[in-house]
Amino acid sequence: MTIKYLVLALGLAGGALSLQAQHRPAPKKAATKADPAMAASLTRGAVVYKNVCITCHQADGGGVPNMNPPLIKTTYVLGDKARLAHIVLAGLAEPIEINGDDYKQHMPARPTSPTSRWPTCSPTCAIASATRPAPCR
């Protein structure tokens, strides 16, 4: 479930694309699987995850011991959403400890190169999207 949440966040960031100006507040009702917009976000997120995240964080989101932190069962993903969004965008340079294990490898910031596989999306929108489980449009 938690990896799904991250994938969703990535999907929302991706969904922003050129639509960031039309960003609107989240609906009060929680999105569900049946929600087509949610499903589309999950699909976009899965694409981004496979392109950008999977090498280090692995297919199951479990990370790599002593190097790349897990994205499952951790407050880094389940906790403060703004912090999560900030790490996704700005990377993480300092070592962190999760459940007694140290993870030291540097995570790069979201690249800006033209060859990037990342969707173009303003940081503000991505943070807003990630902090709010609704499509960014």
Partner 1 sequence: MRSFSSRYLLAVPALAGSLALVASRPTAPTVAPDPNNAGLKLPAGFGALVVAETGGKARHLAVTPQGVIYVKLNKVKDGKGILELRPQANGKATVAGGFGNYGGTGMYEKNGYLYASSDHAVYRYKLDAKGGVTNPSQPELLVRGLKVGSQHESKSIVLDNADNLYVNIGAYANACQEQDRTRGSKGIPNCPILDSAGGIWQFKASQANQTYKTGTRYATGLRNVVGLDWNQQDNELFVMQHGRDQLSDNWPELFNEKQSAQLPAECMYAVKKGDNAGWPYLYYDPQQKKKMLGPEYGGDGKKEATGNYIDPAAAYPAHMAPNGLLFYTGNMFPAKYRNGAFIAFHGSWNRAPEPQAGYYVVFQPFVNGKPSGQWEVFADNFSGSAAKTASGRADHRPCGLAQGPDGSLYVSDDSKGTIYRIVYNAKK
Where on the chain is the footprint of partner 1 (CB under 8 A)?
50, 52, 54-56, 58-60, 62, 64-68, 93-95, 102, 104-109, 111, 113-117
Are the C-beta atoms of 71 and 39 separated by less than 8 Å?
A: no
Are the C-beta atoms of 89 and 126 separated by less than 8 Å?
A: yes
Least distance to partner 1, CB of residue 72, Å: 12
Residue placing its CB nearer to partner 1 in the complex, 27 or 111: 111
Residue placing its CB nearer to partner 1 in the complex, 16 or 52: 52
Residue placing its CB nearer to partner 1 in the complex, 44 or 57: 57
Least distance to partner 1, CB of residue 91, Å: 8
Least distance to partner 1, CB of residue 94, Å: 8
Least distance to partner 1, CB of residue 30, Å: 31
> Alpha carbon of 62 to those of 37, 66, 122: distances in Å?
27, 12, 28
CA gap 70, 104 in Å, rounded: 12
Residue placing its CB nearer to partner 1 in the complex, 24 or 50: 50
Residue from 11, 2, 4 nearest 137 by CA: 11
Residue placing its CB nearer to partner 1 in the complex, 63 or 133: 63
Least distance to partner 1, CB of residue 76, Å: 17
Are the C-beta atoms of 134 and 21 separated by less than 8 Å?
A: no
CA gap 82, 128 in Å, rounded: 8
